[in-house]
Amino acid sequence: MTFVTLGVHPEIARALSEKEIISPTMIQEQAIPLIAAGRDVIGVSKTGSGKTAAFGVPLLAKVTPGQGLQALILAPTRELAVQISRELRAFGKYLGHRILPIYGGVSLTPQMEDIPKADIIVGTPGRILDHLSRRTLSLTGISCLILDEADKMVEMGFIEDIERIISQTPESRQMLLFGATLSGEIDYLVERYMHDPATVEAERQVQADLLQQYYYNVEQHEKFSLLVHLLKKEQIGQAIVFCSARSTVELVAHNLRNQGIRAEMIHGKLSQSKRLQVMDGFKRGNASILVASSVAARGLDLREVTHVFNYDLARDSQEYIHRIGRTARAGESGKAITLLSSHDHEVFRDILRRYDVTIEALPLEEFPRLRFEVRRQQHGFRGDSRNGFRNGFRQRPRYARHNY
């Protein structure tokens, strides 16, 4: 099947073809006809399965350019809002829609000036509420509301914000909800706000034959040395190193650079301009390693990632599934490697219990022990720390509890 035989608008199919997107994915094939027919839809599939096109292609066909705001897409992060906007513009480039990303961390004034011209807005919940409270945005005329990465928005505590936004939309509007997983709170949103929704479900996880998953048992203070050894040993195109804490992201990125490894970092406390600069540079190949927090990396469109390294594990076991979904995308193979210390074992057992994943244990091989500089509060990076030791004695960092 092609997008043409699926009945997609000819100009949208033309734009997709120019991007070498000819055949719809499973989630697109199921969702597009239902959305085009006006149904409320719940779409559940893995990261990288083409969810943006699944809702974006029929949405663009429904929205008439120049007729005012007709659709709102909510996304959990600024990066995802920008990415969705960019993709929709590419899909609808021959139709002339005005698509406006709205997110925090930048001035309200340019957004206020652009809102009256927008046909579709893609925004983060907090900034959308800012405009609603200032009456610089009205949702009374929209015909479609889309929650993308709904599971992540709920996980980040946005459910009350989402409900406040929904309350500002017409009862008759079409509502679409997309995510990689479902939860009780999402079920609540479905039951309260959606009208006889159809559920479409594709693969929730990366295909096992495309993604190899491994783990090493390693002492906490030797994690960084093992990571460097693996980065040099593996045949890496681009890799993401996931850390659960912002402070760990900063430490690992700094120490990788000390080892001569080109590494960038991204986390939620960076300014919007810096985050966009980092992502643009990573996509251009300025650095081959991206050290990232889970929230900052969620929803990013990174198609060339060959490896994912879990430097530590998040407390929420489903975050593992989201992380490994950053590789083995679009039919390409990938590898996910997790470094387990005693801090990670409980979450790791929960992952194995809850999800149908096969993660192979690898024997710990010989690797050189490297110096790891530890950030001390108010003093920047200091000292001659070697794998958590100073002057031959084990030290506890004063700054925070980090997983080195």
Q: What is the pLDDT of residues 157-197, one digit of tens each?
A: 899 999 999 999 999 999 999 987 777 788 899 999 999 99
Fold for domain 211-394?
A: Rossmann fold (3.40.50)
pLDDT tens for 102-146 read 999 889 999 999 999 999 999 999 999 999 999 999 999 999 999
- Residue 190: the pLDDT is 93
Q: Beta partners for 120?
A: 71, 99
Same topology for domains 10-201 and 211-394, yes or no? yes
Region of poorest pLDDT, from 51-65, 214-228, 273-287: 273-287
End-to-end CA, the chain: 49
- Residue 267: the pLDDT is 87
Region of poorest pLDDT, from 11-25, 57-71, 327-341: 327-341
DSSP letter at 386 equals: B
Identify which has the larger pLDDT, 318 or 362. 362
- Residue 62: the pLDDT is 96
Are the C-beta atoms of residues 54 and 32 closer than 8 Å to each other?
yes
The whole-angstrom separation of Cα 291 and Cα 202 is 29
**Average of per-residue pLDDT values in the chain:** 87
The whole-angstrom separation of Cα 39 and Cα 200 is 12
pLDDT tens for 291-349 read 998 765 565 667 688 999 999 999 888 788 878 877 876 667 899 999 999 999 999 99
Q: Beta partners for 225?
A: none
Region of poorest pLDDT, from 33-47, 69-83, 105-119, 205-219: 205-219
Q: How many CB atoms are located within 10 Å of the residue 43 CB?
A: 28
The whole-angstrom separation of Cα 352 and Cα 321 is 11
CATH architecture for segment(s) 10-201: 3-Layer(aba) Sandwich (3.40)
Q: Give the mean pLDDT of 226-239.
A: 93
Identify which has the larger pLDDT, 392 or 24. 24
- Mark out the alpha helices in 50-114 (DSSP H runs): 51-62, 78-91, 108-114
pTM: 0.66
Are the C-beta atoms of residues 23 and 2 closer than 8 Å to each other?
yes
- Residue 196: the pLDDT is 95
Burial class of residue 249 in the structure, from the number of CB atoms within 10 Å of its CB (0-12 exposed, 13-18 middle, 19+ buried): buried
Domain boundaries, the chain: 10-201, 211-394
- Residue 230: the pLDDT is 96
